[in-house]
């Protein structure tokens, strides 16, 4: 049983080394022509930018380079078990060639890809082809010893062994055995060195971190601007609404005090008017407080707050909530007002008759999707309020995805990383 296990283990080891050698050959055939091609195309296209031709060609060349790099990332994950991160900045879908060209050239990940190409076509090719050649070369020594030496030139060098007769051919076979043993140890390591080299020059970990810091800085600035605008709105609403009513009510009470004995009927009329003003001021204050932080959100949580919001809409809204706990108050507030903005858009602009809201938490993410059966055509940045929602979510490292083809339906999905208490 022990001998059988040893034989099986050696067989599996041999198949693994042979597979590594074949993969090395495949990588060599991919990296050398691919890297040379894209390096030449990139250099030529960039050289043509000053005369205008490169403005048109550069985006296509760089997109091809990114696809080539992504393919290598996939092979590294499947064959080498290593993850190579990508961090390309998104570009607007409707960007013109000028914006696309210089947007891609301003992306640090683009220049990382370009710097990687010379390394891949030299050191990357060398490690890959050696992983294949070191496994294949010993077989030549065995074939020479089997009789190939008879048709070779008078002196044929196999490694450092000059082969001229059967004896020297056997020396070549012995060297082949030594090289084959070395190949069993070196071939997988050469393939691993190829992938480590690719990670070192292609991985965008530092760019990903810098991009994350940049995005968080922008979203924090947007959050500060939004908070300042919200404070100004509250101040304006208080000044023009509740404060004006309270001032008018105070004046009415002063008049009532003066007329209480002289003209009781007029005093009663003004008293009724003051009572009406106080009720209206109280209503406005409640609406203002609800706009700042709805009481139902603080008391009952996001699920019930969204249900209460749905009840006030003039269309049929179905709400499905699956939250085993509560998120932090700022996260709940951001999600609530994001849902409120999206529902308002659906009512005002989509012409929808029905809306579906799904709120759940999974894999450390609060996911909220709002779907309506309206006309579609919603786009982030088109004045629909979705840009503000995206900025609000970005403060918490959240993301917004919109699917809204012409004719509908529209589906808006939000994800916010958070834990539930």
CB-based contacts of 64, cutoff 8 Å, min separation 6: 38, 41
Q: Is the pLDDT of residue 145 over 80?
A: no
CA-to-CA dists, residue 394 to 266, 357, 366, 402, angstroms: 57, 21, 14, 15
List, for residues 174-190, the tens digit of each pLDDT value: 877 777 777 778 788 88
**What would the pLDDT profile of 38-68 be if each residue is shown by its tens digit?**
999 999 999 998 888 888 899 999 999 999 9
Report whether 187 contacts 20 (CB < 8 A).
yes
Q: How many CB atoms lie within 10 A of CB 68?
A: 19
d(CA 253, CA 189) in angstroms, rounded, equals 91
Cα distances from 417 to residues 335, 389, 398, 420, in angstroms, run 11, 16, 6, 10
84-111, pLDDT tens digit by residue? 888 787 777 777 888 888 888 888 888 9
pLDDT class for 5, splitting at 50, 70, 90?
Answer: very low
In this predicted structure, what is the pLDDT of residue 61?
Answer: 92
- In our burial notation (b when 16+ CB lie closer than 10 A, e otherwise), range 100-114 reads bbebbeebebbebbb
pLDDT band at residue 4 using 50, 70 and 90 as cut-offs: very low
- By percentage, how much of the chain surpasses pLDDT 90? 9
Q: Whole-number mean pLDDT of the chain? A: 77
CATH topology of domain 300-417: Heat Shock Protein 90 (3.30.565)
Q: How far is CA 168 from CA 77, 144, 148, 198, in A?
A: 44, 10, 12, 41
Average pLDDT over residues 394-413: 81
Assigned CATH topology for domain 225-292: 1.20.5
Does pLDDT of 37 surpass 90?
A: yes
pLDDT of residue 287: 62
- The model's pLDDT over 224-262, given as tens digits with 9 standing for 90+, comes to 555 555 566 656 656 555 666 666 667 767 777 676 677
CATH 1.20.5 intervals, the chain: 225-292
CATH 3.30.565.10, the chain: domain bounds: 300-417
Band of the pLDDT at 3, cuts 50, 70, 90? very low
What mean pLDDT do residues 385-403 have?
78
**Cα–Cα distance between 64 and 82 in angstroms, integer?**
23
30/273: higher pLDDT? 30
Q: What percent of the chain has pLDDT over 70?
A: 75
Out of 2-11, 109-118, 382-391, pick the least confident: 2-11
The answer, yes or no, to whether residue 302 has pLDDT greater than 60, is yes
**What's the confidence (pLDDT) of residue 1?**
39
| 207 has pLDDT over 60 | no
Strands 354-362 and 316-322: parallel
Alpha-carbon distance of 105 to 99, in angstroms, equals: 10
Residue 159 has pLDDT above 80, yes or no: no
Cα angle for residues 352, 400, 325 (degrees, 5° grid): 95
CA–CA separation, 166 vs 143, rounded Å?
12
Say yes or no to pLDDT of 7 above 50: no
Q: Is residue 52 classed exposed, middle or buried when 0-12, 13-18 and 19+ CB atoms within 10 A define those classes?
A: exposed
Return the higher-pLDDT residue of 135 and 13.
Answer: 135
Instruction: Give the burial string for 152-175 (b: 16+ CB within 10 Å, else e).
Output: eeeebebbebebeeeebbbbbbeb
pLDDT of residue 209: 61
Of residues 421 and 111, which shows the higher confidence score? 111
pLDDT confidence bin for 383, thresholds 50/70/90? low
Using one digit for the tens of pLDDT, what is the confidence trace for 208-231? 566 666 666 666 666 555 555 556
Q: Which of 283, 113, 267 is nearest to 204 (CA)?
A: 113
Segment (H or E) for 176: helix 166-202
pLDDT band at 114 (very low <50, low <70, confident <90, very high): very high
């Amino acid at each position: 049983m022990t001998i059988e296990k040893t034989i099986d283990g050696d067989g599996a080891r041999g198949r693994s080394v042979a597979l590594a050698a074949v993969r090395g050959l495949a990588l060599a055939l991919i990296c050398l022509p691919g890297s040379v091609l894209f390096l030449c195309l990139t250099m030529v296209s960039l050289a043509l930018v000053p005369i205008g031709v490169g403005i048109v060609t550069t985006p296509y060349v760089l997109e091809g380079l990114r696809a080539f790099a992504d393919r290598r990332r996939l092979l590294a994950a499947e064959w080498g078990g290593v993850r190579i991160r990508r961090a390309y900045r998104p570009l607007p879908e409707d960007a013109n060639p000028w914006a696309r060209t210089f947007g891609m050239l301003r992306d640090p990940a683009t220049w990382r890809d370009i710097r990687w190409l010379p390394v891949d076509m030299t050191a990357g090719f060398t490690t890959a082809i050696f992983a294949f050649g070191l496994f294949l070369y010993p077989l030549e020594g065995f074939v020479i010893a089997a009789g190939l030496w008879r048709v070779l030139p008078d002196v044929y060098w196999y490694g450092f062994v000059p082969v001229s007769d059967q004896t020297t051919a056997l020396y070549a076979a012995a060297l082949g055995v030594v090289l084959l043993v070395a190949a069993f140890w070196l071939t997988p390591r050469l393939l691993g060195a190829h992938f480590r080299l690719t990670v070192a020059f292609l991985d965008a970990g530092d760019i990903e971190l810098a991009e994350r810091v940049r995005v968080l800085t922008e979203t924090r600035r947007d959050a500060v601007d939004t908070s300042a605008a919200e404070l100004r709105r509250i101040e304006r609403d208080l000044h023009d609404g509740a404060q004006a009513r309270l001032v008018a009510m105070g004046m009415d009470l002063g008049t009532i005090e003066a007329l209480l004995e002289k003209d009781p009927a007029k005093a009663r009329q003004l008293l009724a008017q003051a009572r009406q003003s106080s009720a209206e001021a109280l209503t406005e204050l409640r609406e203002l407080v609800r706009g700042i932080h709805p009481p139902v959100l603080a008391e009952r949580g996001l699920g019930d707050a969204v249900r209460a919001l749905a009840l006030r809409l003039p269309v049929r809204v179905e709400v499905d909530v699956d939250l085993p706990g509560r998120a932090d108050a700022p996260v709940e507030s951001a999600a609530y007002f994001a849902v409120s903005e999206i529902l308002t858009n659906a009512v005002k602009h989509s012409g929808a008759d029905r809306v579906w809201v799904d709120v759940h938490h999974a894999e450390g993410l609060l996911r909220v999707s709002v779907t309506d059966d309206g006309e579609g055509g919603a786009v982030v940045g088109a004045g629909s309020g979705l840009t503000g929602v995206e900025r609000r979510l970005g403060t918490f490292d959240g993301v917004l995805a919109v699917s809204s083809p012409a004719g509908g339906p529209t589906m808006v999905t939000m994800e916010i990383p958070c834990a539930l208490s």
